[in-house]
Amino acid sequence: MVCKLTNASDELLYKRINVDNSGVNVYVPAVYTSLAEGLDALNGSLYRKSGSLYATANTGAVKVKMLKDYELDKNELITYTRGRNITLTTAEKQDKNTDGFFYVPAQGATGESLTKATLTRAQTVASMFTVNIPGNNFNVADLIIDGGSNTMLTQPDINGGAFNFRSVHSSMFSGVTLKNLNATGNGGAICLNSGSLTLTDSQITNSIAGLNGGAVYVRSGASATLSSGTVKGNTATNGAGFYLTENCTLNITGKPDFGGTGVENNTLVTAYGNGSSAGNFVRKDAESFKSLDNEPTNGGKPYPTDGEDYLIRQDIYIAGYADTNPAASLAVTGKITSGNGTIWVWAEEREHYEMLKQFAQFSGSGTRLSNTDKESSMEAFRNAQPDERTICGGDYLTGQRGEVNNWIYWTGGYDVVFLKVDGFGNPLPDATFRLYTDETCVTSYDMSFADGKRPTTISSDGTATYKDKDGVTQILKCGEVLLSKVAPKTYYMKETNLPSDAYAESNKAVIYRVTVSGTGELTLEKKNALGTYEEVYKVNDQYQVMNVSALERKVVLRKVDPGSNYASLAGARFRIYWAASMEEVIKDGYDTVNHCYESGASGVYFVDSLPYGKYYVVETQAPTVSGYGNNAGNVFILDVSADEIPPLTAVTNIQVDNVLARLKEWAQTNP
């Protein structure tokens, strides 16, 4: 006997036969001499014995239990289309029927009953199992399924070397080994066209797909869950391990082993398959990768072979997306560590790598991962793409990682830009900035450039280009500073070299806080004298960072009435702002209580040196002398340079409540 049928409670089921057409029904155990016969029996009626009576058992889940190792005939094509939930598994020693007869697994070489039966079949023209049960479940537990050879077949379009799930509600694999399988189409071991697949403590090794998914192919709309187990030594044209099409998800809940040691290097790989511990590889011709030298700066990939081709690690392959903002294709709900080997992800389109679109997410209502666990999980992932294509690399093994709002990204990064100006608001080329990962500005952050990685960036002379957050190529205008391929997080920045000696050394002491969001938005803040950060002034929605001039001159400002022979006016209050940065000028004589400069009996309200530049002088309170009430809110422009300063004339009048906001609002349309 090959297999038997039981109900979900492991009670042996019975079939009814009519002996010699006598009309007498006899109930015998549902035990069969072939697996196909056992599955076909689910088309008919089955019975459960209760005392001396037999009751129909045509509903509820059924277990198909293997009693021995079994080799399917080459032409034994098993297609399961029954409308019942089943579990294909190995019988247990304690199984028995109610008559006391045992139907237990056959003994192995050591005399013990088999704990896992092995199903094998020679090369064939179809999958071992084709499953088409919409709305029902097909589970597999404690079995070994061995294709016998992973030599590629010649018949076209075979999907799923072991299982081709055409339609299924869910399929759970527990304690299952799938090995030495092959398909000329998709899914060397499993092809999942719909529903969900869960792999727990299972192994998929040494399997081949002629097209996609050496281990598992997941079609659009389906989902797979990997909870522990092993997936390695598989190969395909694309996606040697898992191949994920658009709009499907792989949920990683445990600590799967995709092979490798966690510290891969560029050791020569001479073969794949045969349960290789090195991972899952696809073979590519050398021409495609001839520019990659396989040095540590290339992340140790691609792996050279002893022939003319290269082997490229692809544990998980994320296919192209029509959606320009796709959801994550990987969901991480359990702690992952690189101790079980790293996980190399190949994202085919820029929607998942070039502009930092997420490829994975920490999710699930039951997820309670600490930040340390999340960091460990992020470090387990590696970017399988060539670094020169994704611009993710530079570090050994590539895969710099970043986390924003529980997403995991490649840190290829966003191009973000701000403008460098002088005190008059004119663009300044040749100023050099450096990004740091710490507020003390000790540890540099290396930004990615087409010709390598640099810790610094220089304000443009108007000849370079970059890509904005939407991926559109833009010209880097004169004075603009490009922070290239910056991962979304918070950094700190200082100016390290001035455009010329015409600018004060104090500019180099200023600390800026740079924050790049998960969508590529830049927030730029400047640390003030109080140690807090204030957002840098924007003009036309672009931040502009001002250099203070090293050249300055003494300025005396006096409030007078030109219509009364320039009579001095006391009691007027003023605030002074840099036009290019909207920072307030605080010098001697500034009233820190009323936040102003106030004119005295002589009319003078400001006497000090000012660096060359353009300033706004705002009268916030009219003189105490009656008749000047309409002066409150007047705005004057003060240009400080080597030229003579003419008398100031009001250019506009603004409300004095929230004066800085009112001034900025006016200045946006009156540069």
Q: Tens of pLDDT along 148-165?
A: 765 555 566 789 999 999
Which of 194-203, 385-394, 583-592 comes out lowest in average pLDDT?
385-394
pLDDT of 267 strictly over 60? no
Q: Sheet with 456-458: list strands edge to edge.
A: 456-458, 432-436, 490-497, 512-516, 522-527, 533-535
Please say whether the beta carbons of 31 and 101 come within 8 A. no
Which of 270-279, 501-510, 552-561 comes out lowest in average pLDDT?
270-279
Quote the pLDDT of residue 445.
84
Quote the pLDDT of residue 367.
53
Q: Which residue has better confidence, 316 or 489?
A: 316
Quote the pLDDT of residue 617.
98
Quote the pLDDT of residue 293.
42
Mean pLDDT comparison of 122-136, 292-306, 430-444, 465-479, highest-scoring range = 430-444
- What mean pLDDT comes out for the span 136-145? 95
pLDDT tens digit sequence for 365-394: 555 677 777 777 777 777 777 655 555 543
Quote the pLDDT of residue 290.
39
Taking the C-alpha atoms of residue 264 and residue 61, their distance in angstroms, rounded to an integer, is 45
- What mean pLDDT comes out for the span 563-581? 95
Give me the sign of the Cα torsion angle 535, 537, 542, 543. negative
- What mean pLDDT comes out for the span 447-451? 65
Q: What is the DSSP string of 39-60?
A: HHGGGS--EEEETTEEEE--SS
- What mean pLDDT comes out for the span 616-644? 93
User: For residue 163, which of 148, 147, 151 has the smallest C-alpha distance?
Assistant: 147
- Name the CATH architecture for the domain at 552-669: Sandwich (2.60)
Half-sphere exposure at residue 79, Cβ-oriented, CA atoms within 13 angstroms: 7
Radius of gyration (Cα) for the chain, nearest Å? 37
Taking the C-alpha atoms of residue 104 and residue 3, their distance in angstroms, rounded to an integer, is 10
Whether domain 414-546 has CATH 2.60.40.10: the reply is: yes
Quote the pLDDT of residue 294.
41
Q: In which band, very low, low, confident or very high, does the pLDDT at 359 lie, cut at 50, 70 and 90?
A: confident
Which of 329-343, 362-376, 515-529, 578-592 comes out lowest in average pLDDT?
362-376
Mean pLDDT of the chain: 82
